[in-house]
Amino acid sequence: MSLRYALLALLTARPLTAYDIAKQFSSSVGFVWHAPDSQIYPELRRMEKEGLVDAEELPSGGRRTKREYRITPEGVRRFREWVNTPLGYQRERDVHHLKAAYLEWSSPEAAREQLRLHIAFHTEQLDQWLELRERLLDRTNPTLAARLAASPPEQHDRIVAFKVFAYDGLVERARTEIAWARRGLDLIDEQFPDDR
C-alpha cells in the first residue's frame, strides 16, 4: 500500500505523465521504496478510480496521447493523513543475514564471495546515496527543484533538510552493512585459518 503514497509524494511537486513518474521514481523515491513499472501503471489507474489523482490526455505526437496525472485535493488529504499517522513495524525478513547464520555449511570461498558481493552491493548503494545527498544539499536534484519551485521560499530549507535526513538513514544503513560484511570476512579467516 505504500506504493501509492510514494506516487502521491512525487505528484505533490508537480503533474507528471506515467512515463515521467516511472522515470523519476527510480531516481528519487525509488531509493526508499522500490517498485517496477508493472506496479506503477496499475496503481495510478486504481488511484484515479479512487479520486486520489486526476489524469488529463495530452497530445504526444501524431495521433498518440499521453496521460498527465495530478494529485487531487482528496489525494493531498490522504497523503497528509498517511504522513501524520505513525507506521507499525513489521518483523524483518532478511535473507542475507539468515544465510550468514548458516555459513558453517558453506565452503569458506563461497562464504567469502557472498560477503564480497554484499560489500560491493552496499558500496554501490552508498556511493549512489551520497551523490544524491549532495544533489539535495546543492539543490540540483530535478525532483527537488520542482518541489522547491512549487513551494514558498520560507519552506525550502525544511524541505531539503527532511530529504537529506531520509538519505542520511540510508547512508548509515549501507555503512553498517559494509562493516558487518567485513567483520564476516574476518570471522571466516578465524574459523577457517587453513583455507586462506
* 113-166 pLDDT per residue, tens: 999 999 999 999 999 999 999 999 999 998 899 899 989 999 999 999 999 999
Q: For the chain, what is the radius of gyration of the CA atoms?
A: 21
User: What's the rounded Cα separation, in Å, for the pair 70 and 61?
Assistant: 21
Q: What's the pLDDT at 90?
A: 84
Q: What's the pLDDT at 6?
A: 87
Alpha carbon of residue 28 to chain centroid:
6
Cα dist from 61 to 19, 24, 58, 64, 152, whole Å: 15, 22, 9, 6, 35
Q: What's the pLDDT at 190?
A: 94
Segments of the chain with pLDDT less than 50:
none
pTM: 0.82
**Of 46, 51, 41, 1, residue with least CA distance to 21:** 41
Spatial contact of 114 and 187, defined as CB atoms under 8 Å apart: no
Residue 62, C-alpha cell as written in the block: 501524431
Rounded to the nearest integer, the mean pLDDT of the chain is: 91
Q: What's the pLDDT at 87?
A: 87
Q: What's the pLDDT at 62?
A: 77
Spatial contact of 18 and 67, defined as CB atoms under 8 Å apart: yes
How is the beta sheet containing 65-71 ordered, strand by strand? 16-17, 65-71, 53-59
